[in-house]
Amino acid sequence: MAAFALATLGLGHATAQDSGPLVTVDSGSLEGVATDRAEQFLGIPYAAPPIKDLRFSPPRPAIAWTGTVAADDLPPACLQFEPKGALEGQAASEDCLYLSLYRPLGATASDARPVMVYFHGGAWTQGTSANYGGASLVAETGVIEISINYRLGALGYLAHPELSAETPMGSGNYGTMDQIAALEWVKRNVAAFGGDPDNVTIFGQSAGAGSVCALLAAPSAAGLFHRAILHSLPCGWVSTDLKTAEPSGVAFAEAVGCPAGADQVACLRGVWAGTLIAHQADYTGGIKVGGGLIPVAPEAAIASGEWNQVPMLVGATRSEFKLIAMLLMPELYGVTAETYPDMVRKVYSDRADAVLELYPLANFNSPYEAITQAMGDEAFVCGTGATVAKLAEWVPTYQYEFDDRTSPGLYGFDGPPGADMSNGHSADLQYLFDYDLGAADLDVTQEKLATQMMHYWASFAAKGDPNFDGGPVWPQWTDNQQVLALRAGGESTPITSFAADHNCDFWSGN
C-alpha cells in the first residue's frame, strides 16, 4: 500500500485531490472515497505487516502514521499459490493485513449502524477481500460492511512444535489470529465510521465459514461479535488436531531448506516467501484445534454448549459439489451415462447400489450433475443440516438453501458439455456482493432475489432475525426443520423437505 508505506516511513502522506469522507482511527486519519452508491475506505491496515521476525507470529498492532492517508486503493491479496481469487493485475504480498470498509452515503459517527464483517473463502490457501465489495449491500440496506484479508497457506496455518512453544495460543492458526485482530480493530474503531461495536455480525463462505466456526469455538473471540452467518461449510470440517499437524511443519521446514535443529524456526522466518508458497503441499493445512486458541473442535464445542453463543444463520447452495468436483476430481468431468454406474461404484464402493437408486440419471440433466449432487449432499449439504440442528439446541437459528436454478456459474468454470452449473459452490456470492467472479451478470429476476437476500442478511445483522417487512416469512429452525428456499424472482418459500430432498437420512446412516 503505497500511501501507507510513505506515511509510516516518514516520507510524507497521500491525500486525494477531491475531498473525500474523513475518519480518524487509533492509528491515524483516513480519507475515503465517495461513489454514487456508498463511501468506501479501502486498504486500511488493521495490524503490522507480518514480515521478517513477525512471520509465523501473532499479529501486532498496526503502525501509526501522521497526517491524513488516502484509503482509496484495494489492498494486495495475501501471498498465495495460484491466486484464482485475486483480481487481474492485483498484487499479492506477504504484507497484506488490511481491511476495506463500506458505509452508506451520508453516514455519521453517531449512527450506530449494524456492522457485517466478511471472511473470504478459498480453502485457507487462496482468495482476497477485494472480490467482496460492499457498496451495493450498504446502499440497499444501510449496514456497514467490512471485508478483511488474513494470512493464507503455510504463512497462515503452519503448525510447528517450536512455533507452538512461542505463544500460549499455539501455532497453525495465524490466519485465525489475524481475524481476531481485525475484529478487535472493529471494536475499537468502527464507531468512528458510524458502526455499532456492540452489534457486529461475522460471516463467511466456504473456508470463510470454517473461519466463523473456529471463532465460535475460540475463547479469545468472545464478545467481539454478536451474530454469525455460515455459507457453505459445516462446522464438522474444522477438526485438524494441532499435535498431529506439528510434525508436518518440521517436514515442511526441511523441504524448504531449513534443517532440523535449534535454528529451524529462525531459518523459516528468513526463507524467501516464494519458496514457502512453492511447497504448499508439504504441510497439513487449515485451522488447527487443540491449542490455546481453539481448545476444542467447533462441532464438539457446539455440542457441549461451550462456545461463543450467538444467533446463527446457516445455509448452502443446492448443488455445492458441481464446482468443487472440477477442482478436486477432474476425472468426473468425463463421466457419461455408460460410465456413471462404474464411477459411482468407484466412489462409493459397498454403498454404490443404494446411491444409484437414490440418484438415478433420469432425475438429472447429465451424469456429472447426478454424481456431484450425491457427493455434495454427503459432504456439504447434509452436514450443514447437522450443524444447524446442533446450533438450534442453544440459540435462535435460521437455515436457508440457495436454490436459483438459473444462477450464473463461476467465471472460468464452464462445466462438462450439457451440464447445468447453477447452484454450485459460490453461486450465492454474486447476490450479496459486488462480486466480479460470476460467469454472467444477474438478470432482472435474479436481481429481485439479490435484493431480497441483502435485506434478509442485513435484518439478521440488525436484530438476530432475518425477517423484514414485505419479505416472505423465514421461520426459525425448530423440530419442524423449516428451511427457506431462496429462489429467483423473489419467490423464496419455506420448505420442510430439505432432508428428504438431499437423502440426509441415508448419508447420516439413519
* Catalytic center residues: 206
Q: Name the residue type at position 270.
A: G
Backbone angles phi, psi at 373, to 5 degrees: -65, -45
Instruction: State the DSSP H helix or E strand holding residue 168, giving kind and residue range, or none if neither.
Output: none
Confidence check: pLDDT of 7 > 60: no
- Do 320 and 225 fall within a single domain? no
Return the ∠ at Cα 82 (arms to 40 and 419), rounded to 5°.
90
Confidence check: pLDDT of 510 > 70: no
- Do 330 and 208 fall within a single domain? no
What is d(CA 325, CA 368) in angstroms, rounded to the nearest whole number? 9
Query: Region 472-499: what's the mean pLDDT?
Result: 94
- Do 368 and 230 fall within a single domain? no
In a domain, 20, yes or no: yes
In a domain, 277, yes or no: no
Q: Which of 87-91, 197-201, 467-471, 479-483 has the lowest mean pLDDT?
A: 87-91
pLDDT (0 to 100) of residue 132: 93
Of the pLDDT bands very low, low, confident and very high (cuts 50, 70, 90), residue 233 is very high
Query: Region 29-41: what's the mean pLDDT?
Result: 96
In a domain, 81, yes or no: yes
Among 218, 235, 252, residue at a domain's last position:
235
Three-state secondary structure call for residue 193: helix
In a domain, 47, yes or no: yes
3-state secondary structure string, 326-364? HHHCHHHHHCCCCCHHHHHHHHHHHHHHHHHHHCCHHHC
pLDDT (0 to 100) of residue 257: 95
Q: Name the residue type at position 100.
A: S
Query: Region 179-186: what's the mean pLDDT?
Result: 99
- Do 327 and 231 fall within a single domain? no
Confidence check: pLDDT of 8 > 80: no
In a domain, 300, yes or no: no
Over the stretch 71-130, which tens digit does the pLDDT of each residue have?
999 999 999 865 454 555 558 899 999 999 999 999 999 999 999 999 999 899 989 999
Of the pLDDT bands very low, low, confident and very high (cuts 50, 70, 90), residue 466 is very high
Confidence check: pLDDT of 1 > 60: no
pLDDT (0 to 100) of residue 415: 72
Give the domain range for residue 76: 2-157+171-235
pTM for this entry: 0.93
- Do 318 and 456 fall within a single domain? yes
- Do 216 and 363 fall within a single domain? no
Mean pLDDT of the chain: 91
pLDDT (0 to 100) of residue 117: 99
Confidence check: pLDDT of 493 > 90: yes
Q: Which of 3-7, 308-312, 402-406, 463-467 has the lowest mean pLDDT?
A: 3-7
- Do 227 and 317 fall within a single domain? no
Of the pLDDT bands very low, low, confident and very high (cuts 50, 70, 90), residue 6 is very low
Confidence check: pLDDT of 15 > 50: no
When divided into structural domains, the chain yields a total of 2
- Do 480 and 348 fall within a single domain? yes
pLDDT (0 to 100) of residue 278: 87
pLDDT (0 to 100) of residue 277: 87
Backbone angles phi, psi at 479, to 5 degrees: -60, -20
Q: Which residues contact 166 (CB under 8 A, 6 or more apart)?
A: 57, 265
Query: Region 282-308: what's the mean pLDDT?
Result: 94
Among 235, 258, 277, residue at a domain's last position:
235
Closest CA to 449 of 410, 416, 396, 492: 492
pLDDT (0 to 100) of residue 210: 96
Task: Please indicate whether residue 250 or residue 8 has the higher confidence score (pLDDT).
Answer: 250
Confidence check: pLDDT of 65 > 50: yes
In a domain, 266, yes or no: no
Of the pLDDT bands very low, low, confident and very high (cuts 50, 70, 90), residue 47 is very high
In a domain, 118, yes or no: yes
As a whole-number percent, the residues of the chain with pLDDT over 90 amount to 78
pLDDT (0 to 100) of residue 4: 41
- Do 179 and 317 fall within a single domain? no
pLDDT (0 to 100) of residue 336: 93
pLDDT (0 to 100) of residue 87: 52
- Do 14 and 143 fall within a single domain? yes
In a domain, 336, yes or no: yes
Strands 33-34 and 312-317: unpaired
What is d(CA 427, CA 322) in angstroms, rounded to the nearest whole number? 10
Cell of 449: 432475489
Q: Output the domain CATH number for residue 404.
A: 3.40.50.1820
